[in-house]
Structure 1
């Protein structure tokens, strides 16, 4: 005999009703607007908080709702799409969208280069790098945690404004002009510390981009790992099909 419990049709119908009501609220509202709490929803619809929570979680999984621990639930920003083929600083990208870019500086120092830094920046063993870690924001909404490593010759940027200013402007003023970038994209689950910094729900997804930027002389001068909030930032890509049996060029492997 099966021990499977019968599905609670009434409970399913109730959370779907709440979900439809919330979805309409989201579509009529604006990003950042506060949504009713689970207890308010439970009282309004005469259901348990568990049923109300299920409805809210469904919309959060779709990226329509941003749930902030200890604060509440809010209408989420639509994700920002980064157009392919464009090498643009985060500051310029946000300015192009009519948004204000800013940063929260986590750390900026000279440190020994990691093995990955040495390979990416073509540095000799024992080299030091300029390491800059920042939270990148658009209109004060956290978008990513960015960790950049630069050759020690770039140390002058440590004296510049790395929160409201642009790192790439500082580098350009010192003769380092971005000309080409190579990127490797992955994904992983957010850590508890990152979730707090980025105002994310636990177990949320991060889009991880490792990037090497080359100057006008094809010399690498920036090795960056950026962890984007997946529901707030999308990297667009286009792929062209090749004829069956056609020769293709293998993609360059990611640096270790």
Structure 2
């Protein structure tokens, strides 16, 4: 593969990140009626299913869309890991933490919506208690396995902070990644909070946690990834120009 082709491939992969965010907001948030998610504790199963799955049959379409959009997080995480190199050029152990956490996060972003799609498709056809159980259990998997993404952010943050020779990401982005990873800790309270800031639809455990993930982690790292790739493209163009004039 020529350097020009490789760079074009990397730029395409970098845009998988923004495509994931836009697609997930549309499918999970809008079609899935998850801004915020429905209250799932403190309701009877019949009331819960009637107020969410029966009322919004388009949830199934949105969740299947998430199965596609969510997996776009995987190639974006792979490209990010490829930028976390040791001095000898090999992928660092911190880069492997970022890669592993990113791959598992991508899987989770697709797997859980598939189960919610099943809930939507079976609403009104089977016992609402089973649908309620599957919905609740899937949300606990979605939120309470936050350590997957925290590991990704910890590996990334430590690499940026400790690798003084790397010039792609400013040090503040590393500290920001570490802070975002730590902010997920209150998600362990989701199973026990029917209402309030730590509920599944609460101020902290939904709006703040996912908001700072988007604006304090994903957005700055996407920006600096694309900026680095743009610099590589300019360097290739300048090199080609010098060769042409030689």
TM-score normalized by the length of structure 1: 0.22
More helix by share: 2
State which structure, 1 or 2, has the greater radius of gyration over its C-alpha atoms.
Answer: 1
Higher relative contact order (CA 8 A, sep 6+): 2
More strand by share: 1
